[in-house]
Amino acid sequence: MNQSLGFNIARGNERRMRMNQLSFLPIIIALLFASFVIQGAERINISEVRNLAKLPVDQILKGSPVETIPIEDYWNSIHGRKKPLVVFFYINSNGPSQRIATLIKYVTPHYQDRMSFRRLKVAETGLPDKVKAARLVSEHGLDKIPGLLFYDNVGTDMVLEDEDYIDPDFKEFRSPKMFLWKTYYSVVQKELDKLLAD
């Protein structure tokens, strides 16, 4: 009787230990995933990114493959694209715009052979007035500034020749906090890879 009771207690303890080990498994997996997500960004010096983010967007992206387009040529650029296109709408001296610009600067070298990047300056400083903001929403589908709009390849039956507006395939309006910059960098790459694979 006592031996049987002792055996059951031992088995119960063993079961509890196994359950405790399993309860840590999601945490271990999450830590491994986090390590995997940021390992591609380890070579980037975050202090350089911080200094870069203090500059206006035009200076951050100077010399990059992100070409400027005037708003009056916007739809010509969209219709005439030969490959997937990302358009960055920004305010030149604006913290969120500047942080996104640093991401774009570091991401574009990895994707410039597979997709094009353009930038459109909405304002030098400060948010656009209500009339201009309403036009950006109605004419470009831009819900917020800064914003990134992604357009996939043009199919033969995708757009009518006399149709100006084209819905973007993807929109992104989040601006990275600097302490999470490397995580955002890896997530952006993952999203672009997914969009290009679809």
β-pair partners for 68: 119
The CATH homologous superfamily to which domain 46-197 belongs is: Glutaredoxin (3.40.30.10)
pLDDT higher than 60, residue 22:
no
pLDDT-based confidence at 137, cuts 50/70/90?
Answer: confident
**Model confidence at 66, in pLDDT bands (50, 70, 90)?**
very high
Share of the chain above pLDDT 70, in %: 72
User: Which strands, in side-by-side order, build the sheet including 85-93?
Assistant: 66-68, 116-125, 85-93, 147-151, 170-172
Q: How far does CA 94 lie from the centroid of its chain? A: 18
| Res 88: pLDDT | 94
Q: Which residue has the higher pLDDT, 112 or 31?
A: 112
Residue-level length of the chain: 198
More confident residue, 109 or 1: 109
CA distance 168 to 122: 18
Of 135, 146, 134, the closest CA to residue 171 belongs to 146
pLDDT tens digits, 104-118: 999 999 898 888 999
DSSP state string for the chain: -HHHHHHHHHHHHHHHHHHHHHHTHHHHHHHHHHHHHHHTTTTS-HHHHHHHTTS-HHHHTTTSSEEE--GGGHHHHHHT-SS-EEEEEEEEE-HHHHHHHHHHHHHHHHHTTT-EEEEEEEEEESPPPHHHHHHHHHHH---SSSEEEEE-PPPTTTS-TT------SEEE-----GGGHHHHHHHHHHHHHHHHH-
Rounded Cα distance between 134 and 65, Å, is 29
Residue 38 has pLDDT above 50, yes or no: no
Domain extent listing, the chain = 2-37, 46-197
Q: Is the pLDDT of residue 121 over 70?
A: yes
Q: Give the global pTM.
A: 0.71
Q: What angle do CA 95, 114, 38 make, to 5 degrees?
A: 50
pLDDT at 11: 53
Q: Residue 32's pLDDT is what?
A: 38
